[in-house]
Structure 1
Amino acid sequence: MANSTIWWLIAGAAIVLELLSGTVYLLLLATGFAAAAIAAHVGAGTVAQLVVAALVGVGAVLAWYVVQRRRPGPPPTGSNRDVNLDIGEIIHIEAWNPDGTATVRYRGAQWTVVPRSGHAPATGEHRVVEVIGSRLVVEKT
């Protein structure tokens, strides 16, 4: 069996394992294996194929790592609209309690509402900016 065929089989196996595991790293290593297969097609020796596989595969993983480190992380779960669909919704507050909370009926249930830190309690329309347990953190719209 030719070296290029072996490299293509290894690349295919890495892709299958990546699909089963859900990570991108095996896919990046598979690019290194595919590069080694191409090197075998052009007539490079076994050592050159190994070096190409290592350089391309590890280089792709390191490049991915650097890109991911520079990307900002997602917001905390309590204030992430992708996780909690209440974020951004508008509620109406009629009155605030002396302790700085309010009680509103929202989505068929009673909720305790607190103002976002640094914002004074005021009546009227408010936007939900965070959910902490059973409390809605709001700011005036």
Structure 2
Amino acid sequence: MFQSGLFWWIGAGVLIVLELMHGTFYLLMVALGFVAAALARLAGADLTLQLGIAATVALAAMLLLRKSRFGRKTKTRAEAARNPDVNLDIGSTLTVPAWHDGHARTSYRGASWAVELAPGEPEDANLYEITALRGNCLIVVACRHAAARA
């Protein structure tokens, strides 16, 4: 199968199908290496050169992909804790009756929640805005619009 060059074309096709199911573009870069090796086979290159071309093109394509905007991770777990599209409570306001070294418990949505004050925020505000969730703990900042909402 290596002699006819069919291996490279079938391999590229299988990688493209797998890429369509996975969706990261990296398998597509390896498929480009397979296509380059198939073209080298058509040009008359021996097996060792075909393997080298496949590896070189795949590696170069992956490195270029990694440097592009398509190869970067878009969301991380830490960003999800602050993303209002993921946590609908972000941006909501609540009152905290008493603070103890930046930590408190308060009633929010009918349940008791642990609340942590973000660094540098005052403990004497009337309203607090939720900026993040860390497990079952609400991270809050003093609400800047307290006067407008009161």
Return the TM-score normalized by structure 2. Answer: 0.66
1:81 maps to 2:89: no
- Gap change, CA 1:6 and 1:82, over 3 Å in 2: farther
Q: Deviations over 1:66-97 (max 9, x none)?
A: 55898787362673427850462222215324
Instruction: Using the TM superposition, give the Cα deviation of residue 18 of structure 1 relative to its aligned residue in structure 2, in angstroms.
Output: 4.7
Where do 5+ consecutive residues of structure 2 fail to align? 144-150
Distance 1:78 1:122 in 2: 29
The whole-number CA distance in structure 2 between the counterparts of 1:38 and 1:31 is 11
2:70 counterpart of 1:45: no
Q: Does residue 13 of the first structure (1) align with residue 31 of the second (2)?
A: no
Alpha-carbon distance in 2 for matches of 1:44, 1:23: 32
RMSD of the TM alignment (CA)? 3.6
- The Cα of 1:49 is off from its aligned counterpart by 3.2
- Larger mean Cα displacement after TM superposition, 43-52 or 71-80: 71-80
Once the two structures are superposed, what CA deviation does each residue of 1:85-122 show, in whole Å capped at 9, x if it has no partner? Answer: 04622222153245544443323312122210121113
Q: Secondary structure at the match of 1:138?
A: strand
Aligned match of 2:147: none
Give the aligned residue type for 1:122: D
Shift of residue 8 of structure 1? 0.8
Deviation at 1:56?
A: 0.8
**Structure 1 unmatched ranges of 5 or more:** none
Question: Would you say the 8 A contact 1:102–1:112 is kept in 2?
Answer: yes
Counting aligned pairs with the same residue, the percent is 31
CA distance in 2, matches of 1:64, 1:85: 31
Aligned equivalents of 1:63, 1:70: Cα separation in 2: 11
Q: Which amino acid is 1:110 matched to?
A: S
Q: CA deviation at 1:21?
A: 6.6
Contact residue 3 and residue 37 of structure 1 kept, 8 A: no
Matched residue count? 140
Alignment partner, residue 117 of structure 1: 119
Change (3 A) 1:98 1:73: closer
